[in-house]
Structure 1
Amino acid sequence: MDDQAFLRQLESGRLPAEALNHEARLYAAWAYRRGYPAREAAARCAHALSRRALSLGHADRYHHTLTMALLFVLYSRVTDNPGLLDDWHAFRGACLDVLDGAADVVAAHYSTERLDDDFARRAFVEPDRLPLPTSGLLH
């Protein structure tokens, strides 16, 4: 399935729940960024993922700060290497650390206490460790 068809399924709620794994979320981030400037892509991706979680009865599993932090990281890699938008496999390869250990990537920027806060689940909070790479959302 091409990236736009995937996004249509995600947005319409037709993407099967079992298909929305970590790699599918990474694919959604890539597909949105291919079609939109970074800020709009991040907003659309976060909105689609939160709505899908809600539609599946898993609103408590969506974490807005975690989602946005990962989008900051992913989109900064695209800024550093714009060719990643042309090839899903290249993008995936450049993001294996996020795919295999998103918690470790985020832990460099956020303490557990900051992420465990209920407000951080519902709204973006700034990191309390290292700043997030912002270049990815400036373009």
Structure 2
Amino acid sequence: MDFQAFLRELESHALPAAEFNHRAHLQAAWAYRSRYPAREAAARCAHTLSRYAMAHGAAEKYHHTLTMALLAIMYSRLDATPAQQASWDDFVAANPDLLCGTQALIAQHYSEQKLQEHDARRGFVAPDRAPLPMSCLLH
């Protein structure tokens, strides 16, 4: 499925929940970034993921701080290597830690205690360990 069709299914909530795993989350983030500037892509992606979770009866699974942290990391890498915006496969090959090492990446920035705070799930909470690469989301 091409990425435009994938985003249409995701946005319309037609994508089966069983097919929406971690890799699909990252594909959605990449697909939005390939179409929009980072700030707009992040807003659209977060909105879509939140609405998708609600539509599938899993609103409690959506965690806004985790979403925005991963988007900041992903989008800063895409900004550093713009050629990866042209190919999902190239992006995944260059960033395997986003697929398999997400917890370690997030742990560089957030303590588990900080992520468990109620406010972190509902809105963005600043990291308590190390700053995120947020410059890509500021313009």
TM-score tier (shorter) = over 0.9
Residues 78, 136 of structure 1: 8 Å contact kept? no
One-letter amino acid matched to 2:120: A
Corresponding residue number in structure 1 for 2:17: 17
Q: Percent identity?
A: 58
SS in 2 for 1:15: coil
Runs (4 or more) in structure 1 with deviation over 6 Å come to: none
- How much is the aligned-residue C-alpha RMSD, in angstroms? 0.9
Q: 1: distance between equivalents of 2:93 and 2:113?
A: 31
Is there any run of 5+ residues in structure 1 with no aligned partner, and where?
none
One-letter amino acid matched to 2:43: A
TM-score calculated relative to the size of structure 1: 0.97
Residues 110, 128 of structure 1: 8 Å contact kept? yes
Q: Deviations over 1:17-48 (max 9, x none)?
A: 11100000010000000110100000100111
SS in 1 for 2:101: helix
Q: 2: distance between equivalents of 1:94 and 1:42?
A: 21
Q: 1: distance between equivalents of 2:136 and 2:21?
A: 23
Corresponding residue number in structure 2 for 1:54: 54
Corresponding residue number in structure 2 for 1:70: 70
Corresponding residue number in structure 2 for 1:6: 6
Residues 33, 41 of structure 1: 8 Å contact kept? yes
Q: 1: distance between equivalents of 2:138 and 2:92?
A: 22
Corresponding residue number in structure 1 for 2:85: 85
One-letter amino acid matched to 1:71: L
Aligned residue pairs, count = 139
Deviation at 1:94, TM superposition (A): 2.2
Corresponding residue number in structure 1 for 2:103: 103
Q: 2: distance between equivalents of 1:47 and 1:19?
A: 19
Corresponding residue number in structure 1 for 2:37: 37
SS in 2 for 1:65: helix
